[in-house]
Amino acid sequence: MRSFRHALAIRIALAVLVLSVFIGLSSVLALRSILYRQLDATLLHLAEVEAQAGAATAGSDFEFHEGVLLASRAGPPAELTRYAQLWTNDGQPLVRSRNLKENLDLPAGALSFAARGEVSWNTHVWRGQRLRCVLYPLRLVARSHGIHVLQVAAPLEPVERTLRQFALLVGLSTLLATIAGYSVGRLLARLALRPTREITEQAEALEAGSLTARITAHAEVDEFSRLVTVLNGMLARLEDAFQVQRRFTADASHELRAPLTALRGEIDIALRKDRTAEEYRTTLKRSHEEVLRLVRLADDLLTLARSDAALPLEHEEALGIKSVLERVISRVAPTAAAAAVGFAVNGADRQVLGDPGILDRVVANLVDNAIKYSPSGGTVHLTIEGEAEVVLTVADEGPGIPQGDIRHLFTRFFRDVAGPRAEGTGLGLAIARAGAEAHDGHLDFIGNGPGAIFRLTLTRIPARPAVPAAAAADG
């Protein structure tokens, strides 16, 4: 795995290296240039001094100031070694300093420069050592014919050795600086990462069951407060979802256990001793009721699970809301007749796009509830309205929803304790709302007037357009 600390340290080290190399190279070059200039100045100065002294001689009796300026005796410091030689105007060696066992080389072109009275410079290898020399024109007073050439030379080795030592020093410093840069980088990275690590540790310590805890580390530090806020926000949302899930599971478990308990108890007791056929029949009838209750519950739970998974509608088609209404009414007619409840349908048909099965279910749940709460002889009012949307209002003439229950109406497994609760699963309105939302619509409780009023809103699609005139003409 890539390490941020390592990467940061490497970058800092590289930066230090590049910088050090740049500074090192510049200083080596600068030093080299300084040393060369100094050497040249020394050589020129020597040449001028010697030339002034030698101008009066005849050339062959020329004497260098050996003891003063040139290191002549054995064991002078190499840095101070200077050679000097006098050449005639036609390139013949005339006099050389005593520290020279043989003649220096006269660089080509030196004579012509001297003939023009110009000083020239040269660097060349002589007897295995690099020499820097100045060639200085020397006009002898006695010998008026021609200009002699005074050559003053110095070995470059001392300068180059100094430069080598300096370069080595610079190189070592660069290396050390790079290593130091890497270490400092790691340290900085560690410091920079410490809050992250502490936040991580706190987050790790949180368990699924303890979602109420929040991250507190470095929440007040500007750079980290956002991360901590985001994490805590996520935790809060998780906790909410977890709570809802837990309550739903507990409720579902309770709802499933009630019929299972009755079923099991009924059968347990029937089997405890021999009973009459009538008693067995009663037991079977009761068991059958419980099985139906379980099947209904399983269906409802499955429907909700599907809508929770936000599955796309399996099947969509344009359909008239009135046809949905009529189907539902014809299906619940026996129940309504038994409860002596009538229907009043108002409003013209409107087209919606939807899954007929699901829309049937949504409307049926609303109508079922309305019948359940209607007084005997009451009417369920179904009204279709809306321009851009299709609005179906379902109103009953019952007692309305108690104020305290309105908040929980669409909560799963919520049931009006005082109401006729025996047959419901407590999921009807939750399913109806999920169904409406699957159609990008919504289902709301509007109020008590005095009976409960629910409003289902769906997206309207324009009625199939009339056949265009042109097409009609073609036909």
The residues that touch another protein, with contacts defined as CB under 8 A, are: 250, 253-254, 257-266, 268-269, 272-273, 286, 289-290, 417, 422
Contacts of 182 (CB under 8 A, 6+ apart): 9, 10, 12, 13
Q: Which helix (H) or strand (E) holds 162?
A: helix 157-205
- Tell me how crowded residue 418 is: count the other CB atoms within 10 A of its CB: 9
Q: How far is CA 194 from CA 188, 199, 217, in A?
A: 10, 9, 11
Residue 186 vs 293, nearer CB to another protein? 293
* CB 370 to another protein: min, Å: 23
Residue 296 vs 306, nearer CB to another protein? 296
Strand 83-87 and strand 148-155: the pairing is: antiparallel
Contact 201, 29 (CB under 8 A): no
Residue 103 vs 282, nearer CB to another protein? 282
Distance CA 229, CA 206 (A): 16
Contacts of 413 (CB under 8 A, 6+ apart): 248, 251, 252, 254, 255, 425, 426, 427
Contact 313, 354 (CB under 8 A): yes
* CB 239 to another protein: min, Å: 18
* CB 266 to another protein: min, Å: 5
* CB 272 to another protein: min, Å: 7
Contact 47, 186 (CB under 8 A): no
* CB 184 to another protein: min, Å: 54
User: Residue 304 corresponds to which tokens in the numbers above?
Assistant: 């909700």
Residue 272 vs 315, nearer CB to another protein? 272
* CB 416 to another protein: min, Å: 10
Residue 400 vs 419, nearer CB to another protein? 419
274 by DSSP, 3-state: which?
coil
- Tell me how crowded residue 159 is: count the other CB atoms within 10 A of its CB: 20
* CB 420 to another protein: min, Å: 13
Query: What string of DSSP letters covers 192-233?
Result: HHHHHHHHHHHHHH--GGGTT----TTTTSHHHHHHHHHHHH
User: Residue 472 corresponds to which tokens in the numbers above?
Assistant: 């009609």
* CB 267 to another protein: min, Å: 9
Residue 289 vs 437, nearer CB to another protein? 289
Cis-peptide into 93, omega within 30 deg: no
For the CA atoms of the chain, what is the radius of gyration? 54
Distance CA 458, CA 440 (A): 7
428 by DSSP, 3-state: which?
helix
* CB 261 to another protein: min, Å: 4
What's at 428, amino acid-wise?
Answer: G
314 by DSSP, 3-state: which?
coil
Contact 369, 426 (CB under 8 A): no
* CB 417 to another protein: min, Å: 4
* CB 289 to another protein: min, Å: 8
Residue 127 vs 254, nearer CB to another protein? 254
Contact 382, 346 (CB under 8 A): yes
Contact 267, 275 (CB under 8 A): no
* CB 271 to another protein: min, Å: 9
Residue 266 vs 300, nearer CB to another protein? 266
- Tell me how crowded residue 147 is: count the other CB atoms within 10 A of its CB: 17
